[in-house]
Structure 1
Amino acid sequence: MFEVIAAGGWLMLPIILCSVAVLAISAERYWSLNPGKIAPRHLLAQVWGWIKNNELNAERLKELKQSSPLGEILSAGLSNSRYGREIMKDSIEEAANKVIHDLERFIGVLGTIAAVTPLLGLLGTVFGMIEVFNAIMIKGSGNAGVLAGGISQALITTAAGLCVAIPAMILHRYFQRHIDTLVVTMEEEAIKLVDALHSDRRVDVKTKR
C-alpha cells in the first residue's frame, strides 16, 4: 500500500488529506444532523402547552432557544409574537437563516473536495506523462522501467483522485438533501405556530409529521 502511494508522487499527499477531511466531515455532519436533535418531534406541542397554561416566560424562552435549532426558530418567533403576524414571521425567517447556515457547515467543503480531487489526479497524470516524454528524450524509448514509472504515477494519481471525489460527491448530495428535508420540517412547524397565534384558522399543533 505504501509503495503504491509513494509511486503516485507528491500529489498523493493532498489527495490523502482530502480523503481524511471527507471522512471527518461526514462523521461530524452525520452525528450533528440527527433529526431528533435538530427538530424534536413533540417540541411544538410542548410549546403550545406552555402557551395555553400561561407558562411561557423569559426562562422558558431561553430554555427553548438552547434546546435545538427548531427551538431557536420558535423562540425567535414567540419573542416577537406580540408585534403581529408579519413581525413574527420576519423574526422566524432571520433565525431560520442562521440555523440553515449552521446546518450547512462544512457541506461546501465536501463539494469543493469532490471538484478538486479529480483535478489533482489529472495534474498527477500530466506530471507522469511529462516524466515519460522526458525519459524518451533522454534515454530513448528502450528503457521500459523509466517509462513504466511515469505511466504508473499517472494512473495511480488519477485513480486516487477519483476514489476520493466520487464518495465526496455522493455524501455532498446526501447531506444537502438531508438538510433540505430538515429545513422543510422546521418551516412547517414554524408556520403551525404562526397560524395558531395569528390566524382564525384552527391549527392542530399536536399533529405528527
Structure 2
Amino acid sequence: MRALTLALALAASAVAGQAAATTYVFNAFLNGPNEFPPVASPGTGFSKLYLDTDAHTMRITASFEDLIGLTTASHVHAPTTDPNTGTVGVATELPSFTGFPLGVTAGTYDHTFDTSLLATWNPAFVTANGGTALGAEAAFLAALLAEKAYINIHTDFVRSGEIRDFYELVPEPGTWALMIAGFGLTGAVLRRRVATSARKLTT
C-alpha cells in the first residue's frame, strides 16, 4: 500500500512539475483530415510552439509540403469550445504570422514573438481577455493546455484552411521519468497483490 501511495505521489509531482514550468513546448502534426470539415489534401506539416511566460516570448516553427493550393495565411486559432475539434477565430496576429512564406506549396518557418506586445495578438482576442497583451498570453496558454488551440495553414485551394492540427503539450524529460517510475511502482504493487492472493488460494 505504501508503494502504491509513493507511485501516486510521483505521478502527482510529475504533473505539478510541468505546471510550475515557465517554458511550455507544444507539438502539432498538420494535415487535411484534421480540418473541420476534413479536406482531401495530400499536404502535411509539423509545428512546434515554445511559450515562455517569464520572458514573454513565443517561438513558432513550422514546416509543410505537398499543399494543393498556394499559401495565403497562417496563424493560431483559439479557444475552441471543446478540445481537438471545431473552429474558432484567430488568436494570434492578423492577417498572418510575420514572415510566414506565402504563395508557396511547401516551406519552413521560424519566428519568435514578444507576447507582451499587442501586435502579437488579434485585437478581438485581446479585447475578449482583459484588454491587455498579457491577458491574451494567459488566455492563450490556457487554450493550449486544454488542447483548444490549433495552427492553421490557409491556401487558395481552401480559404478556411487546407491543413491544421491542435497543439499538444510535450512533457519534459523529467516528467516522463517520474511518470515511468510511478507506473513501475504501481505495477510492482499489483504483481505483489496477485502473488499474495495466489498463495492464499493454495493454502
Query: TM-score normalised to the size of structure 2?
Result: 0.28
Query: TM-score normalised to the size of structure 1?
Result: 0.27
Q: Greater strand share, 1 or 2?
A: 2
Q: Greater helix share, 1 or 2?
A: 1
